[in-house]
Structure 1
Amino acid sequence: MFTGIIEELGAVEGLEPRGTGARLRVRCAGVLADAAEGASIAVNGVCLTAVDLRTDGFAADLAPETLKRTNLGDLRHGSRVNLERPVRVGGRLDGHVVQGHVDATGSLVSLAALGDGNWWLRVRVPADVERYLVFKGSVAIDGISLTIAALNGGLLEAAIIPHTYENTSLGTHRPGCRVNIECDILAKYVEKLIGAGREKRGLTMEQLQSMDIQAGR
């Protein structure tokens, strides 16, 4: 589990095709301080298994599903990526619960300077993802925990403070580029529970009718 608080900006050293997948190589240092072979590291919000660890970087294998559902396949040599280690048991949860399981990609519409060091982000999101987003709710964009400031017609908007802009990959993005989106897991659980409740009520009605018939015997 992650929190959406980016620890380090890494740089892509390469993305090598391997069969139907690929191997991503990232140059970094901070997130490897206590990492071991096979450790989990979130790259742009995608939970990956780190292999071939070195003092200045690591590699990770990307499955076809990862390439299809995320923007990792768009990375090139030198691309900046957001890195985060999993939260430790008993550690602080400064952002929100991020699983590292990206739901879909959105399209960056604009990132506009507000003149006071702050920025305004606008991202076009798919309809099947929008239903899990709510005003003032949480969302992870490229692994960054953000608060939704506005949501209208498939357009998600969020305020970006100077620290976030300076310490994440957002400043390297251009309009039209794809960004990874992970919705708050709580919204999915609520939908599942509501759906199960509806099914249960339908079955309960049938059971009541059956009980009525039996009572009349």
Structure 2
Amino acid sequence: MFTGLIEEIGEIVGIIPNPEGKIFSISCRITMENLKIGDSVAVDGVCLTVVDLSENRFSAQAVHESLERSTLGIAKTGNRVNLERAMPANGRFGGHFVQGHIDGIAEIISWKFQSESAVLTIKIPDEFIRFIAEKGSIAVNGISLTIAKKEGLMVSIALIPTTLKTTNLSLKNVRDFVNIEVDLMAKYVENFLHQGKDALTSEKIKGWGFGRN
């Protein structure tokens, strides 16, 4: 599990295809602290398992499904990626629950800069738009963000100066793609509501003790 608070930006310094998918070697500094083989690291929001370590870089395995669902499938050596180590059980929680299981990719439609801040608009794939709500949460390239506006498939997100300075979003241009993970709670709610035609009714709610005088 991750918080969506990026620890640093790393650089992809090697990509090696293998039968399972691809192994990415990533140069970084903060992420290396206390990192062990077998640990999980979110790379642009994709949860990867560390398979090798050296002095200033780690290597992580991306399986075929992750490559197909995320921008890692088109990543190149030299690309800068957001990094976050898995949240420890006793760690401070500051963003929202991010699993590192990418739902898909979104296209950057526009940037609107306002002094040191910006509004980013992305186009969400149709199959995920039902999970999007204004003032709700979304992870974009692993960053925990709040949705400012939703119009059709277009979702606008306000970015503060710190986010622009400490993540790779400021390196992205119109028509570039970013990874998205919709809010986990929205998925649970939808699953609950679709258990059956009468999965949630006023009678059931009253049966649980709510709505009684």
Fold shared, TM-score > 0.5 on shorter chain:
yes
Cα pair 1:106 1:178 within 8 Å, conserved = yes
Matching of residue 143 in structure 1 with residue 136 in structure 2: no
1:99 maps to 2:96: no
Whether 1:16 aligns to 2:16 is yes
Q: Which runs of 5+ in 2 are unaligned?
A: 202-213
Could you tell me how far apart the structure 2 residues matched to 1:77 and 1:130 are? 32
Distance 2:200 2:93 in 1: 37
User: Which range moved further: 58-67 or 143-152?
Assistant: 58-67
Give aligned-pair identity as a percent.
40
Deviation at 1:16, TM superposition (A): 2.2
Q: Deviations over 1:133-185 (max 9, x none)?
A: 10000000000000000011100100111110010001111111111000110
| Residue in structure 2 matched with residue 198 of structure 1 by the alignment | 197
Q: Which residue of 2 aligns with 1:133?
A: 132
Contact in 1 for aligned 2:10/2:28 (Cα 8 Å): yes
SS of the aligned residue for 1:49 comes to strand
SS in 2 for 1:149: strand
CA RMSD of aligned residues (A): 1.7
- Residue 156 of structure 1 is matched in structure 2 by 155
Is the counterpart of residue 26 in structure 1 residue 20 in structure 2?
Answer: no
Partner of 1:165: 164
1:193/1:118 CA distance change after superposition, 3 Å: same
Runs of 4+ in 1 over 3 A off after TM superposition: 199-202
Number of residues of Structure 1 aligned to a counterpart in Structure 2: 202
SS at match of 1:50: strand
- Residue in 2 that maps onto 1:117: 116
AA partner of residue 175 (structure 2): G
Cα gap change, 1:95 to 1:200, in 2 (>3 Å): closer
Normalising by the residue count of structure 2, what TM-score does the alignment of the two structures yield? 0.90
More displaced stretch, 55-64 vs 17-26:
17-26
8 Å contact from structure 2 (residues 20, 62) kept in 1:
no
Deviation at 1:90, TM superposition (A): 2.4
User: How many Å separate the matches in 2 of 1:123 and 1:66?
Assistant: 21
Aligned to 2:210: none
Output the amino acid matched with 2:123.
R
Tell me the CA shift for residue 201 of structure 1.
Answer: 7.5
Distance across 1 between alignment mates of 2:89 and 2:109: 37
Q: Distance in 2 between matches of 1:83 and 1:20?
A: 22
State the alpha-carbon separation in 2 of the partners of residues 20 and 48 from structure 1.
Answer: 13
1:179 aligns to what?
A: 178
* Secondary structure in 2 matching 1:191: helix
Indicate if the aligned counterparts of 1:29 and 1:55 stay in contact, CA closer than 8 A. no
Instruction: State whether residues 136 and 147 of structure 2, in contact with CA within 8 Å, keep that contact through their aligned partners in structure 1.
Output: yes
Q: Which runs of 5+ in 1 are unaligned?
A: 203-217
- Between the aligned partners of 1:136 and 1:201, the Cα distance in structure 2 is 24
Q: Deviations over 1:178-216 (max 9, x none)?
A: 1100011000100111111525589xxxxxxxxxxxxxx
Tell me which residue corresponds to 1:46. 46
User: How many Å separate the matches in 1 of 2:176 and 2:70?
Assistant: 12
